[in-house]
Amino acid sequence: MDRMLVKGMQFYGYHGVFAEENRLGQKFGVDLELLLDLEKAATMDDLEATVNYAELHALTKKIVEGTPFKLIEALAGSIATQLLAAYTMINEVTVRVTKPNPPFDIHFDGVTVELRRKRDADGRVVTV
């Protein structure tokens, strides 16, 4: 399986358990790792033979900047599920969501959640 990586996307969302997070919002980072067959795209040099990463970005942005989730785990799960539903040529997706400024009185680079989802033989989305 080939890989497509979309790294370092930044969005502004209102996710979190605390009311202040839902009211004020903050930046969230998202990385995607897709497993798919890119042989046709590599040989034909045709955008229709691959997943358009501008569209991946747009869908991810819509999710992150849309309805708030309490947990970044739920946010990452929604991204994974919606990407697999929208792009049938993606066999497996890893989604990393980073919340760089959790509301704690500690200093670190944030919290990252990583979820992996794939299609089973029947086309259903399952946890890897």
Summarize pLDDT for 81-100 with one digit per residue, the tens: 999 999 999 999 999 999 98
Q: Which two tokens stand for residue 105?
A: 């009185």
pTM: predicted TM-score of the whole model, two decimal places? 0.94
Return the pLDDT at 79: 98
Tokens of 39: 């042989």
Domain assignments of the chain as residue spans, ordered by start: 2-101
Please give the CATH number for the structural domain made up of 2-101. 3.30.1130.10
| Active-site position among 7, 70, 99, 118 | 99
Q: Summarize the confidence of residues 6-27 as an average pLDDT.
A: 94
- For the beta sheet containing 111-119, the strands, ordered from the edge strand earlier in sequence to the opposite edge, are 2-13, 26-36, 90-99, 111-119, 125-127
Active site residue 99: yes
Nearest to 77 by CA among 52, 97, 100, 55: 97
40 token code pair: 């046709």
DSSP structure class, residue 67: S
Mean pLDDT of the 18-41 span = 95
Q: What is the DSSP letter of 125?
A: E
Retrieve residue 59's tokens: 């869908």
For residues 5 and 41, give the distance between their C-alpha atoms in angstroms, rounded to a whole number.
15
